[in-house]
Amino acid sequence: MGELFDTRFRTDDTPMTRAELAQAIDACDVLVPTVTDHIDAELFAGASDRLQLIASFGSGVDHIDLRAARAKGVIVTNTPGVLTEDTADMTMALILSVPRRLAEGEKLVRSGTWAGWSPSGMLGHRIGGKRLGIIGMGRIGQAVARRAAAFGLSISYHNRHRLPEAVERETGALWHPDLDVLLETSDIISVNCPLNDDSRGMIDARRIGLIEPSAYFINTSRAEITDESALVDALAAGKIAGAGLDVYAHEPAVDQRLLSLSNVVLLPHVGSATIEGRDATGAKVIANIRTWVDGHRPPDQVLEGWV
């Protein structure tokens, strides 16, 4: 970007403060934020008319008030697709890790208290033959389904719309129009839908209560889709067997109760953290900006369906 445009960089790898964001959007034609840079209606209202494009670095856009952007006449783009395989890999890693207690086992070895193999030591559950329920069957959900099928899981999914028959056949997935039924009948639940007005708080305390005590809960999407407090209560009470989490309601702060639970695998929001993925994301950002500069509609413009 430095070679192509008059660019000002933030070299500190931390979220911009609100004051810094306000200053940036008032002084630039194009802003390139990340998921930790929250741009709300108040910031848009204070921005000069110079701001015309927000080329977000990442696929999620829940950190940007899209309605306010549209009202201001600002185009918003994202980088869909480039992080699909990386996030699906991490989701599958958690699907394997939690039932087989891999994190617990690693900590046991490091503690120096491991007494060696025993017939009943560190018993977990096999995943072959289990029922995987995927919430959100977009690019990432479908990639998770393909991986899970190779491990012998039977796959069901909940989506706003049913997938074409060819996609269902390729992924071996069964559509559940009723989310409650999916939660009641799944051995492992994976949240892979984007955060928007429809999904925010979708997995509330009532729905968490539908999950079987023997089931596992995986979330590599956004914490706000789930009532985190209710989830922690269920895990602590043994009403859910375990969880694998890559996202949290108040990042980087993590609920202290989660830290004390041995049946939860906690990751530091690294679902998309690969060198290849970051490079591809940057390339998409530049492609969106260059297309816009050339007077054309950017290929990854976020449309009204996201709102």
293-300: list long-range contacts, CB under 8 Å, 24+ apart.
Answer: 293/5, 298/53, 298/55, 298/75, 298/77, 299/77, 300/77, 300/78, 300/79, 300/80
Nearest-5° Cα angle at 196, 32 to 247: 75
Which residue in 251, 278, 290, 297 is the catalytic one?
Answer: 251
Q: In whole angstroms, what is the distance from residue 201 CA to residue 203 CA?
A: 6
Cβ neighbours, 10 Å, residue 2: 8
Q: Return the structure tokens found at 198.
A: 């429809």
Q: Quick check: bond before 252 cis, omega within 30? A: yes
161 noted as active-site residue: no
- At residue 217, what are phi and psi to the nearest 5 degrees? -120, 125
Nearest CA-CA partner of 193 in 138, 146, 155, 131: 138
Alpha helices in the chain (DSSP H): 18-27, 41-46, 66-72, 84-100, 102-111, 139-150, 165-171, 179-185, 205-208, 228-236, 256-259, 275-293
Give yes or no: 212 in active site. no
Rounded Cα distance, 139 and 2, in Å: 31
Active site residue 125: no
Q: Which of 222, 224, 228, 304 is catalytic?
A: 222
DSSP per-residue letters across 137-182:
-SHHHHHHHHHHHHTT-EEEEE-SSPPPHHHHHHHTEEE-S-HHHH
Show which residues are catalytic: 222, 251, 269
